[in-house]
Structure 1
């Protein structure tokens, strides 16, 4: 069902990839990408052997001097061309994302649009890689700061956003003068190949070395190679907290740089002053969008006792209207989980909820029968729970929403929200100015993203994306996130005819 799109993206429609002399196909073990939509094999691709990995590094090292010597606005022009190619391929790539990952076609298109948006952002940024000028305390001296490319940026991305998160890193890293090596998720390798093909065409059309952008395909071992490799100047990793801790410790052991965007356990606080219609819409979309497989998915709904019963009733009614099925069908609201392992994690979480004393308001289960042959479709769940439950403290990548009651003030609700290990996204639904400002103050949300009257999921390119605590502390995408991809240097120029020494030291020379 995806053959036309694969052809449009210059990816062979045969099940087994064959060596074409291009390094992204590799010579290692064969990985089979199976769609969670219908359980069918999409394509078989070669994983990267250690020899393949070394060849990729050699090409990246050879290319980095050439690329960093090109003026930043010219590098921005290459990224602009990439964005234009994405516009031309938006429909085909969006459908591939939907089919290989399982998110809705509209979300697939939205993910490609995020790629286009970050390219536009990066093009502008290529003319604004600013430093600072400072006054020196020494006469006839000038001081300033400037930023230089790091060299090689390694990008590790997750299955849930198989193309957009790479583009967030790639577009900024490239305009900053770095070359990039990408390890996409082994669960969505065809999406990685498609993006690399598009960018490789742009580089070839401009007579630029292919080592400016490379991909390697594989699992955790490949990620470990990248994390331990001193030749990679920055490792930007998106995924689970467990994975991030391993990457961070390995990179830190060699005093390297890492940028981490890890797990979330996101909450919406609903106060007595909330618009309940808006609340229901934000909570449902946040909890079931992408089948609960976003790092910004709404996991917890912390509701004041005064409106708890109303919110609970509205949510149960809304969940009764959800349509679960093929994500390429625009009539459906919820698609499949990525694979059977994700389904097993979902089922284990349901058992834990009940064993800890929680109560299922909307029961779960795996859907069977026609249209659900992949056995990856599950029912979205609402559970009444307590914030301290172990399972509530854990991020489960599935459509499970915990309904938690609070009494007292906004400060009490914020304390519950912050009482988890993760700190990515958060929101409060209120029309009370005091509550909104308290939530956004230094005494409020401890998350990297804090919203008022909008849900936890979704982000705009213009703002830096990332979180605190076990979310890793990194920032990707907009604002001044570009600085993470460059090294900072302070320069002092003496244009006098003497050298003043520190602390008044003199020499009789």
Structure 2
């Protein structure tokens, strides 16, 4: 990525990592953002200190009242303008996402498109923040519900989707009348700074106050400040289950709200009636896309014994065609893992698979030599395992696909799929209508997302995104997810000349 392209997004050699609108400052230590693509430093980012943090909170509190008083459709207009800026900068911002995170350029562009899509969705939603009218049991009374802005929303995002997941929260929170504070991943700070600068220019152009959108950077300590802060009614956190537990416990201790989107251990069930061509495409993209670093990545393939050998052969052939290398080269299917720690996790997982008795249909290792100098490139792996093994029960953020055989009917396959602690995304490949409906029934998949004849990755903006069990139970993006960013209020108006009480109670004196 060229310096000119970085400068277009406001990325320079050394950058402050704290912002309240268009005001940038930071006094903490410098953290270097290094690309896993080639191992080169992109920029140094100055981390947020506690003093910086207090400045951000003070500015956000000053902005929240004025922002909430602006009519929702007018707030939607600001989000629309932000979406237009993203359209103009999509090729360059998508390239930065690819270069700093390591996903393919197509996926980087797709992530920016998600931002544009959620802006479009939020603009429409700004005219549909509906309440409800409720019939009162008392004569000449009207009862209804309405929604008000919740205030300050903290957004903690993960490295694997360095801009899209923030935008899911930000676009909706903004049209709901909230101000936002973003704690981006310390592994992808440049993406966050670029997005904050784009939005800050829109806010400044419209003469809106600082603090409507703020950015803080740093490690888990900075995230802990948000979780502990009683001034922040809602903390939306995306990341590991371990992190989510810490956020949920801390926020609940002060009776705040948390919106959690955590780990996944996603499976595709392949029945005897599956279209195997579609199955292989869905499974390979799900397992290899983003080098297996999506929360919706396909981790497990639960295959009926009647088609098990066919699936193995087809997968082996497909994996031979996967090209690994610079994600900015459109000919490559898979880029690097995010950093050397992720590589060590990959290696440890392979050792655990072997120790627990697994066999490798497609083995893998860390790639070395020309083009792989960063040390973050690995080969995708397919392992034959048992579903109950410890290594299979936990999420490994790497391109490792587990093959699991089942022999009974669809209920056995569903039981295997559900027998993990996580509950994010799931899929079934079948042309059998009965199997599909059983999979989608109340006794079917226990995940927040359940797909038929598509893979586990690639959720659309229109539907609510999130999962159950250790995935955290939160919902972001589409449908009625906007309600998480508002406080609900029930109102009753008495337009009679008396004061009747509910439940027929009398109180005379």
TM-score normalised to the size of structure 2? 0.98
- Structure 1 residues 119 and 141, CA, compared in 2 at 3 Å: closer, same or farther? same
Partner residue in 1 for 2:194: 194
Partner residue in 1 for 2:314: 314
Instruction: Write the mapping of 1:365-380 to structure 2, written as runs, cut at 5 A.
Output: 365-380=365-380
Q: Distance in 1 between matches of 2:461 and 2:17?
A: 37
What displacement does 1:8 show?
1.0
Instruction: Write the mapping of 1:327-346 to structure 2, written as runs, cut at 5 A.
Output: 327-346=327-346
- Structure 1 residues 305 and 46, CA, compared in 2 at 3 Å: closer, same or farther? same
Cα contact 1:102–1:338 (8 A) shared by 2? yes
Instruction: Write the mapping of 1:122-161 to structure 2, written as runs, cut at 5 A.
Output: 122-161=122-161
Partner residue in 1 for 2:500: 500
Q: Distance in 2 between matches of 1:364 and 1:30?
A: 35
Write out per-residue CA displacement over residues 242-285 of structure 1, whole angstroms, 9 at most, x where no aligned residue. Answer: 00000000000000011000000000000000001110110000
Cα contact 1:15–1:41 (8 A) shared by 2? no
What secondary structure, in the 3-state scheme, does the structure 1 residue paired with 2:308 have? helix
What displacement does 1:184 show?
0.5
Write out per-residue CA displacement over residues 28-63 of structure 1, whole angstroms, 9 at most, x where no aligned residue. Answer: 111100000000000001000000000000000000
**How many residues are aligned here?**
508
- Structure 1 residues 507 and 302, CA, compared in 2 at 3 Å: closer, same or farther? closer
Q: Distance in 1 between matches of 2:245 and 2:17?
A: 35
Cα contact 1:240–1:262 (8 A) shared by 2? yes
What displacement does 1:506 show?
3.2
What displacement does 1:26 show?
1.4
Write out per-residue CA displacement over residues 188-241 of structure 1, whole angstroms, 9 at most, x where no aligned residue. Answer: 000000000000000000000120000000110011100010001100000000
Instruction: Write the mapping of 1:376-395 to structure 2, written as runs, cut at 5 A.
Output: 376-395=376-395
Q: Distance in 1 between matches of 2:25 and 2:322?
A: 40
What displacement does 1:25 show?
4.3
What secondary structure, in the 3-state scheme, does the structure 2 residue paired with 1:360 have? strand
Partner residue in 1 for 2:100: 100
What displacement does 1:18 show?
9.5
- Structure 1 residues 18 and 341, CA, compared in 2 at 3 Å: closer, same or farther? closer
Q: Distance in 1 between matches of 2:43 and 2:343?
A: 22
What displacement does 1:20 show?
9.9
Corresponding position: 1:177 with 2:177: yes
Cα contact 2:155–2:181 (8 A) shared by 1? yes
Instruction: Write the mapping of 1:71-470 to structure 2, written as runs, cut at 5 A.
Output: 71-470=71-470
Cα contact 1:238–1:261 (8 A) shared by 2? yes
Q: Distance in 1 between matches of 2:210 and 2:456?
A: 38
Q: Distance in 2 between matches of 1:348 and 1:10?
A: 38
Write out per-residue CA displacement over residues 359-380 of structure 1, whole angstroms, 9 at most, x where no aligned residue. Answer: 0111110000110000000000
Cα contact 2:18–2:217 (8 A) shared by 1? no
Cα contact 1:270–1:429 (8 A) shared by 2? yes
Cα contact 1:26–1:217 (8 A) shared by 2? no
Give the aligned CA root-mean-square deviation in angstroms.
Answer: 1.3
Partner residue in 1 for 2:68: 68
Corresponding position: 1:58 with 2:39: no
Cα contact 1:17–1:43 (8 A) shared by 2? no
- Structure 1 residues 193 and 18, CA, compared in 2 at 3 Å: closer, same or farther? closer
TM-score normalised to the size of structure 1? 0.98
- Runs of 4+ residues over 3 Å off in structure 1: 15-25, 502-509
Unaligned runs of 5+ in 2: none
- Structure 1 residues 278 and 505, CA, compared in 2 at 3 Å: closer, same or farther? closer
Write out per-residue CA displacement over residues 13-34 of structure 1, whole angstroms, 9 at most, x where no aligned residue. Answer: x256599996554111111000
